[in-house]
Amino acid sequence: MHKLTYFIDRGNGDYQPFFEYSYPDVGEDEFYARQLCTYFIIEGMQYQLISNEMKGSEEILVLEEMGPNQLVPDEQTYRNNGLHLEFRSSLAEENYRLLNVIPCDSHFEVIRFLLKDVVDIPVRGQYYTTSTEIDEDRGAYVIYVKEIDGE
């Protein structure tokens, strides 16, 4: 794995190269973490992952543009302050409320959470994962969750 390239699907077979990361500037752990995110936020725009592909030593993520990213009042920027993982409610009527944030020592630590259908949020307990996101603008990973019924 030497390169991770994001493409935007413009329709009719038109795939526009969008963003690229190269090893060793970005480690394999970050390559994998990025591939596990269903949404990608950069420069105020939101994109949804529609395909995760490989071609030789290149990792390819194909995105669909969803439009401007909707900001919520309790968002913080972590850029240049380490690696952070936020847990947020997946409910729009709750304005995607922040439930907890944890600092992480590595992308491997983030991957442990990104892989799960049910996450154990510190101080809150277990929740279902509904989607995952990497927010380049804020320098954070985000896991959107909903309560487990009956608990």
The confidence score (pLDDT) of residue 1 equals 62
pLDDT per residue over 31-48, tens digit each?
A: 999 999 999 999 999 999
With contact defined as beta carbons under 8 Å apart, do 2 and 60 qualify?
no
**Residues in CB range of 96: below 8 A, 6 or more apart:** 72, 88, 89, 90, 144
Within the chain, what is the greatest distance between any pair of CA atoms?
47
Domain locations in the chain?
Answer: 3-68, 83-147
The confidence score (pLDDT) of residue 125 equals 95
Whole-number average pLDDT of the chain? 93
pLDDT per residue over 80-127, tens digit each?
A: 999 999 999 999 999 999 999 999 999 999 999 999 999 999 999 999
